[in-house]
A and B are shown apart, each in its own frame.
Chain A
Amino acid sequence: MLTSLYRFFSSLKLTVACLVLGCVIVFWGTIAQVHLGLFKAQNEFFRSFVVYWPLDGSPPHIPIFPGGYFIGTVLLINLFVAHFRYYQPGKRKIGIVLIHLGVVLLLLGQMLADFLSRESAMHLRIGETKNYSEAERAFELAVIDATDPDSDKVVAIPCSLLVRRGEVSDPEMPFTVRVKNFYANSSLVQQSQPGYEPVKTTGGAGSSMWWREEPRVTEMDRLDMPSATVEIATPQGSLGTFLASAWLDQPQSFTYNHRSYELLLRQERYYLPFSLHLIEFRHDKYPGTDIPKNFSSRVRLQNLENGEDREVRIFMNNPLRYEGETFYQASFDPDDHGSVLQVVHNPSWLTPYFSCVLVAIGLVIQFLSHLIPFLKRRVAVPASVAPSSGAVRGKAPGGRPIRVRGLEKK
């Protein structure tokens, strides 16, 4: 039983099967992007263990195909076990081992990146300074104590808590936030329209608005716009029900115990131990055309912790890497007075570089190990017909596959 499992997981047939399945899933997942959008297709086909039918996530939810993670994992196991089975010490195989090690590192690195990396964005107008980046798709309800004119005290409640529609309290907040209603994606209108209900609030912007729940978006270039109604409950009673929505730019404010508070549903923020200040944004074009030549942001980087204070230029293909975060020039405002930097936190970003080096070394060794003996023979025996020692891997001169030595251990 164990032997047959071992033989199964180490067989080249399994490798070929995985590679073919990999081809199918890559092809299918690419075609599916036309209808599902890049984001959804990625999650359904590549970042999943099983692909379900129908693809849009509606029932009956029948598993129909192994997903990218499944195929990748089996391939990794196969590679690992096969090396046990076929590997013999000696110089001849070292190239192959390095190549496969590089592939393993690449696969593992990408899986790690899927779990560990975090992408966010920093939108800066010229002259603006920020010490945080914002999540592209995750929202939070910020309860801001804005009494102190110099700095705000913020309690951020992630949407995952709002979904439960319960009560949220925090030692930092002298009151409880009671979520009355929450839509993960919504639309708001200022006049009554069919399908919309009036937003039930006691004050603030929501009192003259209608809203409706919308299906979650799947496209890469569109966002869910959540909205919620929350009641502020204090030991002395309710302070009212307010609308918090991604559609609203201005916070809803109220006072309690002579302190002023603001409520804002905004993109989740990741705070950085340093700040960036946008000095200049450039959008260069080729002469006489609108073809963009370059986008670049000149920023001032200030780190209060170590006193670092310098200017940096971030432009296409030249990101800023600092304190584990990488800032890329991603987008800009239509009026060219603001810049959007993509902020990526990816601890495993170096793995593809290492794996590329490993594979390259492996290929060079593999190549030299064939070339050098070959050249030596050329010198020693001109016009020799002696079969080369290891040049044809797994294949006899007759074109038939050689049995790899390990295969013979029956």
Chain B
Amino acid sequence: MKKWIPWSVLALVVIVLAYCSLPKPEGPFHTRAFGQLPVLLNGRFQPFDSVARNSLLQIRTKQTVPAEANGRTETLSAMDWLLEVMMKPEAADDRKVFRIDNNEVSELLKVPDGQKYYSFNQLRPQADEIEKQAARIDPIDASKRTVFESQLMKLYEMMNLYQRLEVSLKPPGSDDFAAELDAYQKSILPGVAAVNARAAGQKFDQDAFNNLLSFMGGYQTVASFALPLTIPPADASLPRDDWQNIGTNLMQTAHTGEFNPATKFYAAMVTAYRSDQPDEFNHAVGEYRAWLADRFAPQARKTSQEYFFNTLQPFYNATVIYVLALVLACIYLLVASEWIRKSAFYLVVLAVVIHTFGLVFRMYLEGRPPVTNLYSSAIFIGWACVLLGLVLEKIYPIGIGILVASFVGFVTQIIALHLALSGDTMEMMRAVLDTNLWLATHVVTVTLGYASTFLAGFLAIVYILLGLFTKRLTQPLDPKAAVGLTAITAMAAPVMAAPAIGLAVGKGLSSEIGKMEIGKVMAKMVYGIVCFATLFSFVGTVLGGIWADQSWGRFWGWDPKENGALLIVLWNATILHARWGGLVRERGLMNLAVVGNIVTSWSWFGVNMLGIGLHSYGFTDAAFWWLRLFIGSQIVLILLGLLPKIMWRSFQPARPAAAA
């Protein structure tokens, strides 16, 4: 048999992936080394590279900038772009990075039509207008803004962010920053003397006074607006997280007279970059890294690791493989070739390995359990669904586990990518959330509840579509694909160890099972997953209540997010009791499971959009639109599922021709 084909497919994908992940040749400037330098932003140490990626994602919604150089189009990495913004802002101002989607906004700003991205220089003439509009919109509650208002506000914030980045490493207008620092150093002594004399009402040196003040003006701007804290404390006795931005630090230097070595290193980098001297630049970066290695080894190590994580892009790579697997799984539904199923299966395994690697690496970087915000909940829900899907596939090797696993894996990654557009995804946890115990127990279990409810829902969708449009549901399982009946019944129990059982019996074959219809098998899958979902959502919700009792003395406060979780529990319990009571059979079960999708998506995103309660984080209006679209699609699927049995191809009596 073509046993070698699935393995070759897997090998091919691995090779392509490895090739794509190889570091690209670097330009003369060692931006990779620069990108690993630690800074303090959002309350955590992160590499410059993360600042660059998160900022560019927010401004341009992409991680790269296309650039024209010598008539050729090339792409600028986020780090290349940020380096230019911070060190050569006059050049960066011509890069088209500001994304404007809203026509009303582009008309207001009188910028040329038919473009998606605009440069800062294009927007600059309208800065006053933007400011004026933003001042009006700012007091309006975010959930009550019109699309125009929220888009304009977004643009305003992005321009602010951009301008703050521009003054993060050097004062505005400064050209040879290193030479200027030397001049500043010389001006301090006479300047401070002049300032003191003037304050004491004595005669003072006006030139020395003016000279010092001319430096201070620029540093004051940097001190007020620079975004990341770039300068570590030089004094070993200071707390390790007592970082400053370069402006604050230089202003302080006037009092102490001592220069922090980091400012000199950065000034040298700026000068070298501006005068296009890569060797000088690389030398300064290298020296600064050596200086840090002696004093801030843990921080530098952590940011290097995060840099490594950024460049590997595990979630992005996993997404690509999920898509490949999804395509194969769809093909398998049409032409039931075992090698296609096997290939798809291997690909999903590969993707989930990469996905797991990313998940664990993120946990390590954050020092937190897997789910800390909406973004990571999407990553985690996808991961759990894919694992469960693989287990199902292992027990019932009919391609459906792969189909659902790769689809949910892909969709949740897309959701995560969009959630990442709002900035740093590893933000610090606010006071009450700063507890790994509850994040690890309540949040993880309740998220597993979400994941399994979704999985049941998507299996049900596959059932409805297969039943309506194909004959698969009434076809028997491939005899070769069969598994002991006991495995099925074990799955049906509300158990956690289903994976173990599934794997344990994976090798047992049975002709009885082979004769089972696919539709019946799917009903068992959905039923088992709903049991699983009930267990996790119930335990997760009760743990949430206990957490609430621990933190504000109320087991249950009817907060929207609590209600959302409760709704999932109630709905899953409804499905189970309806099934036990004989109120629904196979198709009814499937329709109820699709309703579970609506309930879960509403609990996951909808309640955040109400803009009330303790959990109201992560509101985005684009998400609201997608949520409505999703719920609408689920309703259509339920209506399809309600069509009379005679209209389902799977349940139509075999035609005489087929019988003959």
Q: Contact check, A374 vs B501: say whether CB atoms are below 8 A apart.
A: yes
**With contact pairs A378-B486, A385-B484 given, residues A38 and B558 touching in the complex (Cβ less than 8 Å):** yes
Q: Most A CB atoms within 10 A — which of B41, B523, B558?
A: B558
Q: For B570, what are the chain A residues with a Cβ–Cβ distance below 8 Å?
A: 19, 22-23, 26
Q: Contact check, B552 vs A342: say whether CB atoms are below 8 A apart.
A: yes
Q: For A11, what are the chain B residues with a Cβ–Cβ distance below 8 Å?
A: 581
Interface residues on B, range: 35 or more
Smallest Cβ distance from A140 to chain B, in angstroms?
A: 23
Smallest Cβ distance from A218 to chain B, in angstroms?
A: 13
Q: Contact check, B552 vs A328: say whether CB atoms are below 8 A apart.
A: yes
Q: For B545, what are the chain A residues with a Cβ–Cβ distance below 8 Å?
A: 352
Q: Contact check, B490 vs A288: say whether CB atoms are below 8 A apart.
A: no
Could you mark each residue 538-568 of chain B with 1 if its beta carbon is under 8 Å from any beta carbon of chain A, else 0?
A: 1100110111011111111111100110110
Smallest Cβ distance from B549 to chain A, in angstroms?
A: 6
**With contact pairs A316-B551, A383-B508, A401-B579 given, residues A291 and B42 touching in the complex (Cβ less than 8 Å):** yes
Q: Is B344 an interface residue (CB 8 A)?
A: no
Q: How far, in whole Å, are A212 and B496 apart by their CA atoms in the complex?
A: 62
Q: Contact check, B549 vs A27: say whether CB atoms are below 8 A apart.
A: no
Smallest Cβ distance from A339 to chain B, in angstroms?
A: 13
**With contact pairs A359-B538, A383-B509 given, residues A344 and B501 touching in the complex (Cβ less than 8 Å):** no
- By beta carbon, the residue of chain A nearest B245 is A288
**Stretch of B290-298, B425-433, B454-462 with 4 or more beta carbons under 8 angstroms from chain A:** B425-433
- By beta carbon, the residue of chain A nearest B548 is A352
Q: Contact check, B571 vs A294: say whether CB atoms are below 8 A apart.
A: no
Which of A34, A288, A374 is the one whose CB lies under 8 Å from B612? A34
Q: Contact check, B539 vs A367: say whether CB atoms are below 8 A apart.
A: no
Which of B44, B431, B582, B599 is the one whose CB lies under 8 Å from A316? B431
Task: List residues 559-610 of chain B with CB under 8 A from any CB of chain A.
Answer: 559-560, 563-564, 566-567, 570-571, 573-574, 577-583, 585-586, 599, 602, 607, 610
Smallest Cβ distance from A240 to chain B, in angstroms?
A: 43
Q: How far, in whole Å, are A110 and B566 apart by their CA atoms in the complex?
A: 14
Q: Contact check, B505 vs A23: say whether CB atoms are below 8 A apart.
A: no
Could you mark each residue 216-259 of chain B with 1 if its beta carbon is under 8 Å from any beta carbon of chain A, else 0?
A: 00000000000001000000000001110000000000000000
Smallest Cβ distance from B498 to chain A, in angstroms?
A: 10
Q: How far, in whole Å, are A108 and B166 apart by their CA atoms in the complex?
A: 60
Q: Contact check, B496 vs A113: say whether CB atoms are below 8 A apart.
A: no
Q: Is A163 an interface residue (CB 8 A)?
A: no
Interface residues on A, range: 35 or more
Q: Is B479 an interface residue (CB 8 A)?
A: no
- By beta carbon, the residue of chain B nearest A42 is B558
Smallest Cβ distance from A361 to chain B, in angstroms?
A: 12
Q: Contact check, B513 vs A385: say whether CB atoms are below 8 A apart.
A: yes
Q: For A403, what are the chain B residues with a Cβ–Cβ distance below 8 Å?
A: 582
Could you mark each residue 376-410 of chain A with 1 if its beta carbon is under 8 Å from any beta carbon of chain B, else 0?
A: 01100011111110011111011111011000000
- By beta carbon, the residue of chain A nearest B561 is A30
Q: Is A292 an interface residue (CB 8 A)?
A: yes
Q: For B486, what are the chain A residues with a Cβ–Cβ distance below 8 Å?
A: 374, 377-378, 384, 386, 388, 391
Q: For B381, what are the chain A residues with a Cβ–Cβ distance below 8 Å?
A: none
Q: For B44, what are the chain A residues with a Cβ–Cβ distance below 8 Å?
A: 286
Q: Is B629 an interface residue (CB 8 A)?
A: no
**With contact pairs A287-B242, A356-B542, A399-B520 given, residues A38 and B583 touching in the complex (Cβ less than 8 Å):** no
Q: For A110, what are the chain B residues with a Cβ–Cβ distance below 8 Å?
A: 555-556
Q: Contact check, A19 vs B574: say whether CB atoms are below 8 A apart.
A: yes
Smallest Cβ distance from B390 to chain A, in angstroms?
A: 21
Q: Is B327 an interface residue (CB 8 A)?
A: no
Smallest Cβ distance from A109 to chain B, in angstroms?
A: 8
Which of A19, A29, A349 is the one whose CB lies under 8 Å from B573? A19
Smallest Cβ distance from A157 to chain B, in angstroms?
A: 28
- By beta carbon, the residue of chain B nearest A389 is B489
Q: Contact check, B432 vs A316: say whether CB atoms are below 8 A apart.
A: yes
Q: How far, in whole Å, are A368 and B414 apart by their CA atoms in the complex?
A: 38
Which of B435, B490, B580 is the one whose CB lies under 8 Å from A401? B580
Q: Is B527 an interface residue (CB 8 A)?
A: yes
Q: How far, in whole Å, are A24 and B579 apart by their CA atoms in the complex?
A: 20
Which of B484, B520, B554, B586 is the one whose CB lies under 8 Å from A383? B484
Q: Contact check, A352 vs B546: say whether CB atoms are below 8 A apart.
A: yes
Q: Contact check, B489 vs A397: say whether CB atoms are below 8 A apart.
A: yes
Q: For B649, what are the chain A residues with a Cβ–Cβ distance below 8 Å?
A: none
Q: Contact check, A326 vs B553: say whether CB atoms are below 8 A apart.
A: yes
Q: For A366, what are the chain B residues with a Cβ–Cβ distance below 8 Å?
A: 493-494
Q: For A395, what are the chain B residues with a Cβ–Cβ distance below 8 Å?
A: 492, 527, 579-580
Q: How far, in whole Å, are A332 and B208 apart by their CA atoms in the complex?
A: 48
Q: Most A CB atoms within 10 A — which of B435, B539, B554, B607?
A: B554
- By beta carbon, the residue of chain A nearest B487 is A374
Q: How far, in whole Å, are A393 and B497 apart by their CA atoms in the complex?
A: 17
Q: For B578, what are the chain A residues with a Cβ–Cβ distance below 8 Å?
A: 12, 16
Q: How far, in whole Å, are A370 and B488 apart by their CA atoms in the complex?
A: 12
Q: Most B CB atoms within 10 A — which of A110, A113, A353, A391?
A: A391
Q: For B577, what are the chain A residues with a Cβ–Cβ distance below 8 Å?
A: 12, 15-16, 19
Smallest Cβ distance from B563 to chain A, in angstroms?
A: 4
A-B contact pairs, 14 of them (CB 8 A): A16-B583, A19-B573, A23-B574, A30-B610, A286-B44, A287-B241, A359-B542, A363-B535, A367-B496, A383-B509, A386-B485, A387-B489, A388-B489, A398-B520
Given A33-B560, A287-B243, 9 extra CB contacts under 8 A: A19-B573, A33-B558, A287-B43, A294-B434, A316-B432, A367-B494, A383-B510, A399-B585, A399-B586
- Cβ-closest 3 pairs across A and B: A286-B43, A12-B581, A344-B553
